[in-house]
């Protein structure tokens, strides 16, 4: 079981490394691309424990509705928003990400 978890975690990091600047992906999308579509919460744990930041850009992973959630990096959620804005991610007036404009289609 531990080996299976390690393999999934590494797949998650591999997928997240592919998200380009100016784009975001959802936890569910990453779970699906890593081979376990029902593991969105596990993706969140991978992002929380990401030892490879910034090579694995965990700040580019967001909730399905475009809400910024769970960022353990510098500055918390505001820090995540600042990084994403600097990369060119589009935000709506309610501070949600404009998913049609900035969502990663993979």
Query: Which residues have a catalytic role annotated?
Result: 58
SS3 call for 62: strand
Per DSSP, helices labelled H in the chain are 2-17, 27-33, 40-48, 76-86, 99-102
With CA atoms as reference, report the closest residue to 25 among 101, 102, 79: 102
Question: Residue 31: in which H helix or E strand, if any?
Answer: helix 27-33
Q: Which residues are registered as beta bridge partners of 18?
A: none
């Amino acid at each position: 079981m531990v080996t299976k978890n390690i393999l999934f975690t590494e797949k998650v990091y591999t997928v997240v490394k592919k998200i380009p600047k100016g784009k975001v992906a959802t936890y569910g999308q990453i779970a699906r691309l890593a081979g376990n579509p029902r593991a969105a919460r596990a993706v969140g744990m991978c992002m929380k424990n990401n030892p490879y930041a910034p090579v694995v850009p965990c700040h580019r992973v967001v909730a399905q509705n475009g809400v910024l959630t769970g960022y353990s990096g510098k500055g918390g959620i505001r820090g995540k928003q600042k990084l994403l804005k600097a990369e060119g991610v589009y935000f709506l007036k309610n501070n949600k990400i404009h998913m049609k404009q900035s969502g990663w289609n993979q």
